[in-house]
Each structure stands twice: as C-alpha cells, then as structure tokens.
Structure 1
Amino acid sequence: MGDVTGFAVFFFPQALEALGEAIKPYLQEGPAGPHILCSEIDTGGALIEMTIEARDLDGKTVELQLMVPVSMVRMIVSARGEAAFGFGPRVGAPVPTLPPVGPTAEPAAAPPQAVPSPATPQTPSQVPPSGPPDTLGDPPKPE
C-alpha cells in the first residue's frame, strides 16, 4: 500500500448550505460532488481540522487550517499513491475463467447420487404405520 498523499472530505448538503460563501473558495467539484482536498486531517475532537495547501495572491504556497464541526462531514476518502483520484468507472482486468475442478470430476450433466432410485416397490407390509401406536407396551399378540 502506498503512502497517504491526501484526503477528500465530503460534506452533507445542509452543511454546505450552512457554511455558505465561506466554504466555496476551498471546494473542488468532482463526479461525486463538491469536496475539499487536504494534506492532513485531525478528527480527534468536536471539530475536524483540515490542513490545506493553497497559494496566496503573490503565488506563494501557504498552509491553511480549516476547521468545521464533525457533524457536517459525510465522508472522508484517502487518496493513496500516484494514481489519479476520482470516482469514475474503473477499467479492470478481465475476469479469468475458472479451471476445472479436477481430472476425476464428473461432468455437470451427471445424474445426482444423493437420491437412490427404488429397486423394488414397497409392499403394504413394508410401509411404516402412520400415526401414534395404539399402546406403549408390548406389541399386540396374534390371535
């Protein structure tokens, strides 16, 4: 796994409305909605502290600390490594075909072995009685 290179912090729509114009200079638009890209975050209190690298009017890089209530944050995503950050469709590797189970495996069309076929039909004397026995003692004596 690569080193963490940044975080994208997403807010609830109500939070963006409540923060109004003050948050807009820090927001970036993306396929998943507006978010703030920051280099560090601290979620250890009632406020989430976000460290943002920005440029001042002279073009110098400055480090800003932006703090908002934790309850305004919907999700935080970490961006790792050199890969591009985003939520677009991923181009994945083709799914490999599975190898056969083994050289002795039966084909899928083989008949199931779990249910044996009846060799001889059952006669009434072989059918067990249905229902409770008449007595709990010895079996009845033949007359």
Structure 2
Amino acid sequence: MTETSSYAVYLFPQALEALGEPIKPYVQEGPGGTHIVCAEIDVSGPLFGLTLTGRDAQGRSSELEIMIPHAMVKLVMSIHSEHGFGFKQA
C-alpha cells in the first residue's frame, strides 16, 4: 500500500457560496469538479479540519488550517503519490 500524500476535499455548492471570498484562494477546478487539496484532514472534532501546505511571500514553507462544519463536505478522496490526480480522456 502506498503512503497517502494528500486529499481532495469536495464541498457542496451551497457551502462554497456560504464561505464566499475567504475560501476562493484555496479552491481548485479540476476534471472531477471544484475541490480543495490538503495535506491532512481531521474529522474527529466538532469541525472538519483541513491542513494546507504552501509557501509564503518569502518562499518559506507555511501551513494553513481551515475548519468548517462537517455538513459542508460532500466527498473526500485520497491522492496517492504513485499517480497523479485527475481523469484521462479516452
């Protein structure tokens, strides 16, 4: 079994609308739909936690944690390092 490197978290359209402008920089469009790619998720608490990794303006590694109600999450997919995320067209 491969090590999971990240997760694609899909939110309901109403959730994206309710979260508004603050969530937009972290949302990506892809063949599977609108999603957020995160390094870790935490589903154990009262809120659904998403940990995103990136770089700040100076190029240093940084982490961002977003916490949203569980009811906003439509689907979570794990992305394994042995293959990319997406769908091939036939």
- Please, what TM-score do these two structures have when normalized by structure 2? 0.92
| Structure 1: 4+ residue segments shifted above 4 A | none
Displacement of 1:25 in angstroms is 0.6
Q: Distance in 2 between matches of 1:57 and 1:74?
A: 32
Aligned to 1:89: 88
Stretches of structure 2 lacking an aligned partner (at least 5 in a row): none
State the SS of the aligned residue for 2:83: coil
| Root mean square deviation, CA, Å | 1.4
Does residue 6 (structure 1) correspond to residue 3 (structure 2)? The answer is no
Displacement of 1:67 in angstroms is 0.7
The structure with the largest strand share of the pair is 2
Greater Rg by CA: 1
State the SS of the aligned residue for 1:35: strand
Give the residue type in structure 2 aligned to 1:18: A
Q: Distance in 2 between matches of 1:61 and 1:81?
A: 20
Q: Distance in 1 between matches of 2:23 and 2:33?
A: 14
Q: Distance in 2 between matches of 1:20 and 1:90?
A: 32
Identity %: 49
Equivalenced residue count is: 90
Give the residue type in structure 2 aligned to 1:33: G
Q: Distance in 1 between matches of 2:55 and 2:81?
A: 23
Stretches of structure 1 lacking an aligned partner (at least 5 in a row): 92-143
Output one character per residue of 1:60-100: Cα deviation in whole Å (capped at 9) or x when no partner.
110111111110000000011321111x1377xxxxxxxxx
Q: Distance in 1 between matches of 2:81 and 2:26?
A: 23
Q: Distance in 2 between matches of 1:55 and 1:24?
A: 17
Q: Distance in 1 between matches of 2:26 and 2:45?
A: 22
State the SS of the aligned residue for 1:10: strand
Q: Distance in 1 between matches of 2:6 and 2:89?
A: 20
Give the residue type in structure 1 aligned to 2:33: G
The structure with the largest helix share of the pair is 2
- Please, what TM-score do these two structures have when normalized by structure 1? 0.59
